[in-house]
Amino acid sequence: MERSLTQLQQDFIDFLVECGVLVFGDFTTKSGRRTPYFVNTGNIRTGGQLERFASFYARTITEQIGGSFDIIFGPAYKGIPLATAVATSLARDHGIDRAICFDRKESKDHGEGGSLVGQKPRSGDRVLIVEDVTTAGTSIRETVPKLRGAAEIELVGLVVSVDRRERGRGDRSALEELSEEFSMPTFSVVTVEDIIAHLHRRTIGGEVIIDDAIRSRMEAYLIEYGPRK
C-alpha cells in the first residue's frame, strides 16, 4: 500500500500508538461491528498528551481552512476538552483566537439554562466542529440541530483525528455522508489507510505494531465495511 504521508501525519500516528490511543485486538463498535483496531482518545490522560493531541488538530485546521471560522464547537463529552485544547493551541501557536462552545447531553433548567455552554452561536457565525472519531456520525446528527436551533449559523467544517473509512447509512463513508447532509467539508488528520501504510512492519518501542496478520484483518474489515462508492 503505497501512500505519501506528511511528517505531521507520521508523527500523529506514532503519537497515537505511544499514548495507547490506537490499539489492536478484537473490539466492537457502537454500530455492533467487530473491528481489529480501536481509537480510544479516552486514553489521553495528561496535560502534555492533550496539548500535543490538540496541536495536530490545530495544524491540520490551519492547513485546510486557515482561520475562517468564529466558533470551535466540541460535542459532549470527549469533544469538550478537545475543543478547549484546540482553541488554546490555535491562539498560542497560530495567532487564531476563537470562541469555544460545547453542548450538554441534557438541557439545564436552572442558572443560565439551555443545552449549549460557552459562546452561544449568533446568526451569521461560522462554526467549526472538532470531534475525536466519527464512525456512524451519530453525535454530529444529534448536535447540529442544537446549533442550528440556536441561530442561523454556517457550518464551515468537521475535523476528526482518524477517518475509519467506514460506510455510514448508505454506500459512502460516514464522513462523506455528513459532508453532504450538512453541506460542510470534513477533514481528518489521518485515515485508516494512512495508519496501515505507516505502521505495517514498523517497530515502535521494540514492537512491530502492524504485522502481516493484523494488516490482513484491517484490510478485510475495510472490504466488508468500507465505502462502496
Tell me the per-residue pLDDT of 133-176, one tens digit each, with 9 for 90 and over.
987 788 899 889 999 999 999 999 999 999 999 998 899 999 99
Whether the pLDDT of residue 112 is over 70: the answer is no
Nearest to 129 by CA among 113, 142, 114: 142
Number of domains forming the structure of the chain: 1
Q: Which structural domain, as residue segments, surrounds residue 142? A: 7-225
Q: Is residue 2 part of a domain?
A: no
How confident is the model at residue 32, as a pLDDT? Answer: 85
Q: Is residue 131 part of a domain?
A: yes
Taking residues 201-210, report their average pLDDT: 94
As a whole number, the mean pLDDT across the chain is 93
Q: Quote the pTM value.
A: 0.93
Q: Is residue 1 part of a domain?
A: no
Q: Is residue 129 part of a domain?
A: yes
CATH number, residue 154: 3.40.50.2020
Q: Which residues are catalytic?
A: 108, 110
Q: Rounded to an integer, what distance in angstroms lies between the CA atom of residue 196 and that of residue 190?
A: 11
How confident is the model at residue 48, as a pLDDT? Answer: 97
Residues in the chain: 229
Position with higher pLDDT, 127 vs 29: 127
Whether the pLDDT of residue 1 is over 60: the answer is no
Q: Rounded to an integer, what distance in angstroms lies between the CA atom of residue 150 and that of residue 144?
A: 10
Amino acid at 133: V
